[in-house]
Structure 1
Amino acid sequence: MANQKRFIAGAVCPRCAAMDRVRTWEQNGMRYRDCVSCDFFEQLPIEDETPPELDTRISQSQTAPASPQDDLQPVRILDPGPSKR
């Protein structure tokens, strides 16, 4: 059932600020939402394209791999000299 109305858990109505009173459904290529506590009603077109992925540490490392040479640093071993007791 494409037009079954479902409540959105934790959603707050933009008009009356009631929580858990907003429901949503899809019908004929449109997405609807309304509030059962007040007369709030909104319709939005359903977009076919997916939104771009947000940049995260993981997605950035996949898109721009770092060269292994970038993280290399020479190590110096220091001679502390003879111990003084």
Structure 2
Amino acid sequence: MSTPKRFIAGAVCPRCAAMDRLRTWEQNGVRYRDCVACDFFEQLPIEEQAASELSTRVNQPRESQRENEVQTVRILDPKK
């Protein structure tokens, strides 16, 4: 089974450095890339398992969100 060849927007060819000239497609469980501006051609294995998202501070809940604690705020009087 083959997928249609599609251009990769913003991609730069590793051989000739031409932008927007790389295209990709899949055929028989193998992913291919080539450049229409030069003779660059690459065969890539298709990963069967989806890559899990890396754990970062942005996608992890904070401690206060995990516990759903209510914290009181105390206003200090600067005159005292």
For normalisation by structure 1, the TM-score amounts to 0.72
Q: In the alignment, which residue of structure 2 is the partner of 1:7?
A: 7
Residue identity over aligned pairs, in percent, reads 59
Q: In the alignment, which residue of structure 2 is the partner of 1:75?
A: 74
Choose 1 or 2 for highest CA Rg. 1
| Length, aligned pairs only | 78
Aligned-pair CA distance for 1:45: 1.1
- Runs of 4+ deviating beyond 2 Å: 54-59, 65-69, 71-74, 76-81
What code does the residue aligned with 2:10 have?
G
Give the Cα separation in 2 of the matches to 1:57 and 1:24: 33
Gaps of 5+ in 1: none
Structure with more helix by fraction? 1
Gaps of 5+ in 2: none
